Structure 1
């Protein structure tokens, strides 16, 4: 008889803190993390995949712009992991509310929550795996991640609209709606919130050093250390992975295609005026580091080819595999005096994995667009 009763009736949750007050408190932090992640993600996407009309309008300054926004994007996404888990823990008993559907409005509300939870979990999990460059799924990460971000944003707005009365009632300690909550839950609630804050702090401090280098000594959970790699800099894609074999210095040629096209040998590039720049390289996976680059200014090469000052430039790599073999720069980037075709990194000749013999380095530009193994510059009208 008791077994039959348990099958007919939903489970009774008697644990404390599965209440609206706790859910609202954690929801505020989670909402802030999602807002920062969404806004910085939009910036990253526009810089990484600019619409055609925006290519010439994107700014090359500040030089650390992309490093800051992408670092915040990954840090806020990592912080969202314990916050999302805590939020789901506070509300999961409502999944077993009885009856499961009380009205059309209630059914739509539950459907919206299901979409929000599924989209949020998918967005956080795929983003986290992307930082480790692990893609155990059949779809392309970037377009799906970008589309799901909009789905999460829309679902959050819908959820806030539906839950506005409850959120308003439990937003602060002085809210009238909080008077009905048991006073004895106060210390436990504060302990829970302190534990969640500690978890957020722990995962942030042990990962953010991959971009905020003063904390690089505490990098324990991040998949990259900013000091580990050839020339003292990490590498995402090696020459082997890109299909670039050994390049003999005497056989290398750089073509600058424009009104007065030029073909330059490596010795001729070395013979041109050399400039130095302290620029960060910042990758979409979240790591970044400032390095010392030496090479030829792109603007000088464009002048040799007779390029107009407002021309865009297409940069073509010698790589044969993988994405981002070709990238484009607007005139803001191409004419910036800090934009170089680098020949040396941190005082040493480039290694093959860092793009030997020539790679692009430009300010405020995603790492995937800092093209390695450059073989051709094309002046675009």
Structure 2
């Protein structure tokens, strides 16, 4: 006689969470999504500009423009500001739509599968981009990968997921874009906080984080710069410093016998006194860093194009600049022809009328228009015509 194994009791599926209320409907999600989409679009476009100015491919080196001189300051300031503003918007958007994550069955059609895929990638990439970008503003990197290439690659993934999500959800977005009535809701409606109150609260949160951080680049609002990691007026000689001389391994002893070497058809060397005896030019240019802070300052030094011409270089020639620092990803920097020829590009010796401090690049540093701060090379010891 065959003995049948006892049947195990069938476990019932756990009850799915139940959500209701005006603030979990499609209209609310669409209203927040408009702001979030705009913030991400601005952050993406300015981020691409920043990346190619900081890491130009060979075909762009001599094409990138040096004007407007404040261009990088504006685009990078917008990049960081829009990224920070997108954080509360992302939280609000997720709060409005998260009940949809518990809808059953999980997949009902090909279109529904694409929608869920786009949402998964969009949320993961969005959280990764915004929070790694935020940590970059304070120069904290608690991960094993290189920030710049990974952040840039995931930005394209985020943008692609956003386009796919908009395409899949376009009928719902269109239906709730301008309608003031609840319309066809995805979830039951119950009494709850007013949608306008929620949106005003979100706007206030976005305004607060923007107001208390944007002053690091938009100096008229510097007095409200409470949460940003940098204040434009705090630092040696009235200017913030990201990379200290001690970090770069440059000391007073290192620069004691400093000479500038310029390599070209007619290579030459100059002592600091000889460099200071050449015709000096004073310009007002901003230092604008990838972390989002920036400030204009008065710089005095010798035009880069004058130094290159003395070495026999023709107009339209690029230059390679080498720093005295012992280590660093930007120890060697290449400057395209448009920058090298620009009369605002200097090998600066003074800041605000004073000799450069060691932390600001003494004896000499590069200052050029429309450039990321990491490419404004400090402690310059060598320039090569290329």
Structure 2 length normalisation: TM-score?
Answer: 0.93
Deviations for 1:20-56, whole angstroms, at most 9, x for unmatched residues?
0000000000000011111111111111011101111
Q: How does 1:165-314 map to 2 (within 5 A)?
A: 165-173=171-179, 177=183, 188-247=194-253, 251-314=257-320
Task: Using the TM superposition, name which of 103-112 and 153-162 deviates more.
Answer: 103-112
Q: Is the 8 A contact 2:304 2:340 kept in 1?
A: yes
Q: Look up the match of 2:364.
A: 358
Q: How does 1:63-142 map to 2 (within 5 A)?
A: 63-142=69-148
Q: Is the 8 A contact 1:169 1:175 kept in 2?
A: no
Q: Which runs of 5+ in 1 are unaligned?
A: none
Q: Is the 8 A contact 1:250 1:265 kept in 2?
A: no
Q: Is the 8 A contact 1:21 1:170 kept in 2?
A: yes
CA distance in 1, matches of 2:295, 2:12: 58
Q: Is the 8 A contact 1:168 1:175 kept in 2?
A: no
Q: Is the 8 A contact 1:211 1:288 kept in 2?
A: yes
Change (3 A) 1:134 1:226: same
Deviations for 1:42-78, whole angstroms, at most 9, x for unmatched residues?
1111110111011111111111010000000000001
CA distance in 1, matches of 2:92, 2:63: 42
How many Å apart are 1:101 and its aligned residue? 2.4
CA distance in 2, matches of 1:350, 1:279: 15
C-alpha RMSD over aligned residues? 2.0
Q: Look up the match of 1:322.
A: 328
Deviations for 1:317-353, whole angstroms, at most 9, x for unmatched residues?
1111221111111111111111111111011111111
Q: Look up the match of 2:43.
A: 37
How many Å apart are 1:16 and its aligned residue? 3.4
Q: How does 1:323-342 map to 2 (within 5 A)?
A: 323-342=329-348
The partner residue of 2:30 within 11, 14, 24 is: 24
How many Å apart are 1:13 and its aligned residue? 1.2
Larger Rg: 2
CA distance in 2, matches of 1:178, 1:95: 18
CA distance in 2, matches of 1:145, 1:68: 20
Q: Look up the match of 2:6.
A: none
Q: Look up the match of 1:373.
A: 379
CA distance in 2, matches of 1:208, 1:91: 29
CA distance in 1, matches of 2:73, 2:316: 26
How many Å apart are 1:110 and its aligned residue? 1.2
Task: Using the TM superposition, name which of 301-310 and 177-186 deviates more.
Answer: 177-186
Structure 1 length normalisation: TM-score?
Answer: 0.95
Aligned-partner SS, 1:240: helix
Q: Which runs of 5+ in 2 are unaligned?
A: 1-9
